[in-house]
Amino acid sequence: MSPDQHTFEDPSKKYSDIDTTAQSQGGPGLDADLVQKADRGEKSYRGAGRLEGRKALITGADSGIGAAVAIAFAREGADIALSYLPEEEEDAQGVVALIQEAGRTAVAIPGDLTDVNYCRELVERSVTELGGLDILINNAGKQQHVEDLLDLSDEQFDETFKTNVYAMFWVTKAALKHMGPGSTIINTSSIQAYQPSENLVDYATTKASINTFSKALAQQLAPKGIRVNVVAPGPIWTPLQTAGGQPTEALPDFGEDTPLGRPGQPAELAPAYVFLASGESSYVSGETLHVNGGMPTP
């Protein structure tokens, strides 16, 4: 059998063939343009019916972590609505094809999450075309490094908060009208909420907000039978990092300072989302699952 997420192997030696050399992309960046391709589980993720018949909306589902989650969810039996920016159509269509290959429905809904009207339409179209909604993954994110606070523009500060925090609020608020008991919400935070980098002030601040939002909402929704959890990735090889998330010259060493000594791949995140979305985690809410190569967090 070919290797999959259950294969017994040394995690410190895994992916030694993927080298994060210096490179840079404009706009939101594309998986298609990564010089060393990321592993999103295309060849390795093996489903086992853990999300059979579920209906999931995933933001940032075109690439990186969101793409890996979409591929895994489809192989676990879920139908999926994908949110992404219009300029990411190429990546999105690749993920749509993989969802369809898994025999599931894919609904592609491009748009800009900093626009509240798109956030509302995204949810309404997802519900209509999937026939309901029981998993929401707020995963889209904006990360642009700026070395000096004096150079951090008001526009960037605003966009980072709109993308990472406001969109989560707008989408969740619209989605809750349609989500019943048993539904789950998973928000993507970051190691940056715990170990903020000096050049990611705006981004790190939004990730701490996502944590607190999630813990507060988890308590509010528990009596309604809806669970809210967080996944906090460490350094993961995605276009976010090559499209301004890190200084280009920092990429060759990306992730090497983690205890496992390497960056993570999007495929290594997907099982955490599957666990938190499925009934396997029925007594887990308000929790953060760290997938960060072993970095200690408070």
Q: Which residues are catalytic?
A: 203
The encoded tokens of residue 206 equal: 């939004």
The site map against Mg ion for 63-92 (x = CB under 5 A) is: x------------------------x----
CA separation for the pair 113, 116 (Å, rounded): 7
Interface with ligand NAD (CB under 6 A), residue from 20, 160, 163, 265: 163
The encoded tokens of residue 172 equal: 């969740």
188: β partners:
231
Identify residues 180-239 at the interface with ligand NAD (CB under 6 A): 188, 190, 233, 235-236, 238-239
The encoded tokens of residue 243 equal: 């499209």
- Cβ nearer to ligand NAD, comparing 114 with 183: 114
241 touches Mg ion (CB under 5 A): no
62 touches Mg ion (CB under 5 A): yes
41 touches ligand NAD (CB under 6 A): no
Distance of CA 24 to the CA centre of its chain: 21
119 touches ligand NAD (CB under 6 A): no
138 touches Mg ion (CB under 5 A): no
29 touches ligand NAD (CB under 6 A): yes
Torsion region of 293: left, alpha or beta (phi above 0 gives left; psi -120 to 50 gives alpha): left
Binding residue count for ligand NAD, defined by CB under 6 A: 29
CA angle 192, 175, 164 (to 5 degrees): 20
What would the DSSP string read from start to end of 7-39?
A: ----TTTTTTT--------STT--GGG-SS---
As measured in angstroms, the least distance from the Cβ of 61 to Mg ion is: 9
209 makes contact, choosing from ligand NAD, Mg ion, none, with CB < 5 to 8 Å by partner type, with: none
For residue 209, the number of C-alpha atoms closer than 13 Å in the C-beta half-sphere is 17
As measured in angstroms, the least distance from the Cβ of 32 to Mg ion is: 9
CA separation for the pair 204, 184 (Å, rounded): 25
Residues in contact with ligand NAD by CB under 6 A are 28-29, 60, 62-66, 84-85, 88, 112-114, 139-143, 163, 188, 190, 233, 235-236, 238-241
